[in-house]
Amino acid sequence: MKEVKVEVLGPEPPCMRCQAAKKVAEKVAEKLRIGIVVKVEKANIMSKDTIGKYGVLVSPAIAINGVVKVMGRVPSEAELEKTIKVAAEKDA
């Protein structure tokens, strides 16, 4: 089964937009659970490790399989679902 890692990058404690982005990611993960394993994680955008890895300073941001795909906004479920499906096909 294909596996995709989704990281929601935002401050701790999370702001309203970061919480919304994480909810969208979790909804899409649940929707795609048959066929694709989607692991949703929260990463602190203020940590040196996250800044060093992604170079992102605007939240919320969403990285899929280590690549930032969305920055500074909350994506729609349809947009995120399409992006995850593309990532799953690429890594298949």
Statement: the pTM of the whole predicted model exceeds 0.85: yes
- The predicted structure's pLDDT at residue 91: 66
CA 87 to each of CA 4, 57, 64, 66, 92: distance values in angstroms, whole numbers, following the listed order: 7, 23, 7, 11, 9
Mean pLDDT for each 10-residue chunk of the chain (92 residues)?
A: 93 93 97 93 93 91 96 96 93 62
What pLDDT sits at residue 92?
57
| Cα distance between residue 35 and residue 52, in whole Å | 32
Q: Which domains, and CATH codes, for the chain?
A: 2-90 (3.40.30.10)
CA-nearest of 19, 6, 27 to 91 is 6
Residues 6+ apart with CB under 8 A from 23: none
**Which pLDDT belongs to residue 40?**
97
